[in-house]
Amino acid sequence: MPTNPEEDAVSSADTPAADASEATEQNTEGPTAPALRRKHGNGPVFFVIASLFAGVCAVGWGAAVMNYSGFGSSVHHQLLTSSVTSDTEASLTFEVNSRGDAVCLVRASDSQFVEVGQADVAIEPGNHVYSTTFETTRRAATVEVVSCREQDPQD
């Protein structure tokens, strides 16, 4: 009884290729592997290795994002006010909550987003409001707290 094309397509994946069957007639080593197994291997080795690699990359990417954005940090800051006091000075007031000693980096940028001044502000443990005024090379357009990081104890 003739088979339909769908059955031929399904069964062709499990039967050895025609040239392979001729080779088995000449070689008495036994039947050849099905076509899919010859193409993709006997086990899920590639799938397991690729899955492990993707998992390691995802965990590494997540850790890098958390450290870069400060999610792992215990220092939190919030800008309260900022002003440009003159062509060569900028000031800002910000609140910081820190478990230990920290340093905050504040920056002033001009209207083209070029940095025109920066300063480091030493932070004490606890919740405090800090005001600082720092010099700029030319008139600033924006003043911001860039980052606050805890300081490692110096032993």
Residue range 105-122, pLDDT digits in tens: 999 999 999 999 999 999
Structure tokens, 149: 């990081």
The side-by-side arrangement of strands in the sheet containing 89-98 is 76-86, 89-98, 126-135
CA distance 41 to 54: 21
CA distance 51 to 30: 34
CA distance 79 to 148: 12
Higher pLDDT, 116 or 21: 116
SS3 79: strand
Structure tokens, 154: 């110096």
Higher pLDDT, 45 or 30: 45
pLDDT of residue 18: 53
Q: What is the pLDDT of residues 38-66, one digit of tens each?
A: 666 666 777 788 899 999 999 999 888 87
pTM confidence score: 0.55
CA distance 123 to 131: 11
The mean pLDDT of the chain is: 80
Task: Indicate the pLDDT class of residue 29, thresholds 50, 70 and 90.
Answer: low
CA distance 122 to 128: 11
Residue whose tokens read 């997540």: 62
